[in-house]
Amino acid sequence: MSSSSAAPGRDDRAGRPGRPPMRDALIAAAFRLFLERGYEETTVDDIVALAGVGRRSFFRYFPSKEDVVFPDHERCLADMTAFLEASTDEDDPVRRVCDAARLVLRMYAEKPEFSVQRYRLTKRVPVLRAYELSVVWRYQRALAGYLREPFAGRRDAGLRADVIAAAVVAAHNNALRAWLRSDGKGDAEAAVDHALRHVQAAFGAMPAPPAGELPEDVVVVVARRETPLWRVVQELETTLGRG
């Protein structure tokens, strides 16, 4: 649940004035050929010939032909991991993983035309759909791995982490794909925000009871003033047998 940015290497600086950076040139050549000839019919040799470089230059940037279709997921996954690792005890874990998912959305929204082209291509090519699923799974695994720590010690902590991570990915991808199907029109961030609010409503702080409805009993939780709200909610759930 893409843009193409990279620090210029030797090949980038050696190009003619006004020539796009090597990595971007390879991506542009690949997509031009994929759209004209088809993905399966295009070879790495075809791509490097159009880009005007050698095979070694291609594999310096992309381990395989599939990777040129998804050029920035490795960077985005690294950014997401760093974002999650920078969390503090004050952060609500569910809100944090929702914010992490927004990093993926921004990557797509940076270059809407490219993202829409890739979406259309991926729909037609089974091997790319399989590759995309493997990428999505890596994002989901990163989110679940982060959630296991704040939920540690609670009943079904691993299950809870996996379920919430899967919900975040499903909500994000539902909104993202709707935006891609619309050819990148509309406010992608607003759509993803709307979808992720469902996740926070389901797994975040417990909602207040309806007005006029009295609880059957009263539970008192004692906590320090500086205790994060999500920790207080955890204590409540544990006390009530829901943790």
Which residue segments constitute the domains of the chain, with CATH numbers given? 10-68 (1.10.10.60), 73-204 (1.10.357.10)
Amino acid identity of residue 107, one-letter, is M
Share of the chain above pLDDT 70, in %: 80
Output the CA–CA distances (angstroms, integers) from residue 201 to 151, 152, 168, in the order listed.
18, 21, 12
Answer with the residue of higher pLDDT: 14 or 32: 32
Among the ranges given (53-67, 179-193, 227-241), the one the predictor scored with the smallest mean pLDDT: 227-241
- The pLDDT, as a whole number, for residue 230 is 72
Residue 221 pLDDT: 63
Report residue 55: phi and psi, to 5°: -60, -40
In the chain, how many H helices and how many E strands? 12, 0
pLDDT above 90 covers a percentage of the chain that reads 72
Q: What is the mean pLDDT of residues 8-37?
A: 71
Is the per-residue pLDDT at 176 higher than 90? yes
Q: Which residue has the higher pLDDT, 219 or 155?
A: 155
Average pLDDT over residues 31-52: 95
Q: What angle do CA 230, 236, 237 make, to 5 degrees?
A: 90
CA distances from 17 to 12, 13, 53, 85, 97 (A): 10, 9, 16, 40, 43
CA 110 to chain centre: 14
Answer with the residue of higher pLDDT: 14 or 240: 240
Q: What is the mean pLDDT of residues 167-188?
A: 96
